[in-house]
Amino acid sequence: MKPRVYVETSILSYLTALPSRDLVQTAHQQLTVEWWGRRDRFDLFVSEAVLAEVRKGDPAAAARRLGATEGLRVLSATHDAQTLATALLKAAVMPEKAAIDAAHVAIATVHGLEFLLTWNCTHIANATMRPRIEAVCRESGFQPPIICTPEELTLQEGT
């Protein structure tokens, strides 16, 4: 069975963005494209929340992001996911302005995915926040996914 990965919106944004002149963004874009080329090693999922986010903004960019989701399975925000997202916000693990980020974590968690792939290092893939996110998930009765970037989520050749 392949590892199951929740693909958060920032991955799709970096994957489909026009080339950047910013060195860090360029590196993120390249790492994302390389990871995406090996995506067949994983079962990939998005959520209704991801689809709503990718549809926003410039129509051409939105179309590219939406196109990248074709063939990916879509998870819903169940009652448990909504409850967990609220718990993450109430525990001040994530600020109110990051409610959509709490939803991403909650959806990936309640659906039992092994990984949450993101470049959002402000509210999700943040070394000081991860332990707090994981604690709230466990206190709510769920095993949290491993939150990581494409750079971190690699499989050894032959696995």
pLDDT digits (tens, 9 = 90+) for 1-12: 999 999 999 999
Write down the pLDDT at residue 156. Answer: 52
* pLDDT tens digits, one per residue of 1-60: 999 999 999 999 999 999 999 999 999 999 999 999 999 999 999 999 999 999 999 999
Query: Two tokens at 159?
Result: 């696995």
Query: pTM score, two decimals?
Result: 0.94
Alpha helices by DSSP H, listed for 72-125, are 79-90, 99-110
* pLDDT tens digits, one per residue of 98-157: 999 999 999 999 999 999 999 999 999 999 999 999 999 999 999 999 999 999 998 655
CA distance 26 to 30: 6
Q: How far is CA 150 from each of CA 7, 34, 94, 140, rounded to the nearest angstrom?
A: 10, 9, 22, 27
Instruction: Write down the mean pLDDT value for the chain.
Output: 95
> Does the structure show a pLDDT above 70 at 159?
no
CATH class of 4-148: alpha beta
- Give the confidence band of 92 by pLDDT, cuts at 50, 70, 90: confident
Contact at 8 Å (CB) between 117 and 8? Answer: yes
Is the pLDDT higher at 92 or at 100? 100
List the domain boundaries for the chain.
Answer: 4-148
Question: Which residue reads 């860090």 in tokens?
Answer: 24
* pLDDT tens digits, one per residue of 52-88: 999 999 999 999 999 999 999 999 999 999 999 999 9
